[in-house]
């Protein structure tokens, strides 16, 4: 083969491999896209791969009888210090497992139950009718907004959902906007520091990672209440 042909082939191969490398990792603002875990979406934020959203098909798992023992929801609600007049928001409320436990405590207040899946909202609508609980308002959120009124919420609860946000920057900005000046975010995540907790790696978070991401959003850690069996109970407030 002629020398010039060799040179031409070399250039083509170089361009091909350069393109492949570019496909392995691309960036879009704060997010990076690259191949990762089978449980992830191939999108990374601040060094963490975002996990797949759990679909409505997992409702039975959300309502499992072992959940109180595994997560001690009763203790979590005590940790939140809910008062009768509080306005609360459960982001990624799912089947309403926490919503319909919080609503009777905030008897003179309101609980916003926010989810992006119509099937989850339908399940909560049915539960609301069956229980007769009136101080629950169902809200359909989006991947970038919780669609809540500005300056309206005293306490925000996120249970094992933040790590699934496709656009965490926009979502926390939206939550922060809805939060009152002295409001609190209760970020509940399975402890990523503990390999013995039987949850997939991408569906857990370390305190260090959570603090890094929330600080970037203008929130600071008030405390991490370490009294739940498997989860962090991290309380964040506005800086």
Question: Does 222 reside within a domain?
Answer: yes
pTM (2 d.p.):
0.88
pLDDT at res. 2: 46
Domain count, the chain: 1
Question: Does 41 reside within a domain?
Answer: no
pLDDT at res. 6: 39
pLDDT at res. 55: 83
**Residues 15-46, buried b or exposed e (16+ Cβ, 10 A)?**
eeeeeeeeeeeeeeeebbeeebeeebbebbbe
Averages of pLDDT over each 10 residues, the chain, 239 residues: 43 39 73 97 98 87 89 97 98 97 98 97 97 98 98 98 98 98 98 96 98 98 97 97
pLDDT at res. 145: 98
Degrees, nearest 5: CA angle 101-66-158: 45
CATH code assigned at 97: 3.40.50.150
pLDDT at res. 57: 82
Question: Does 147 reside within a domain?
Answer: yes
**Domain hosting residue 88, numbered range:** 53-238
pLDDT at res. 25: 78
């Amino acid at each position: 083969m002629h020398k010039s042909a060799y040179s031409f082939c070399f250039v083509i191969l170089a361009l091909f491999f350069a393109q492949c490398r570019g496909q392995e990792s691309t960036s879009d603002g704060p997010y990076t896209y690259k191949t990762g875990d089978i449980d992830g979406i191939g999108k990374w934020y601040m060094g963490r791969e975002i996990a797949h959203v759990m679909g409505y098909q997992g409702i039975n798992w959300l309502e499992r009888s072992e959940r109180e023992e595994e997560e001690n929801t009763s203790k979590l609600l005590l940790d939140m210090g809910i008062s009768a007049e509080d306005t609360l928001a459960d982001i990624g409320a799912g089947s309403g497992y926490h919503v319909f436990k919080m609503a009777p405590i905030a008897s003179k207040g309101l609980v916003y139950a926010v989810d992006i899946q119509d099937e989850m909202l339908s399940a909560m609508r049915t539960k609301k009718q069956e229980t007769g609980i009136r101080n629950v308002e169902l809200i359909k959120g989006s991947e970038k907004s919780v669609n809540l009124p500005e300056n309206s919420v005293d306490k925000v609860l996120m249970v094992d959902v933040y790590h699934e946000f496709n656009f965490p920057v926009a979502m926390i900005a939206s939550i922060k906007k809805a939060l009152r000046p002295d409001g609190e975010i209760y970020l509940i995540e399975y402890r990523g520091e503990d390999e013995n907790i039987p949850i997939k790696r991408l569906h857990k978070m370390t305190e260090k990672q959570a603090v890094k991401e929330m600080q970037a959003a203008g929130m600071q850690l008030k405390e991490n209440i370490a009294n739940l069996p498997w989860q962090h109970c991290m309380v964040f407030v506005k800086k």
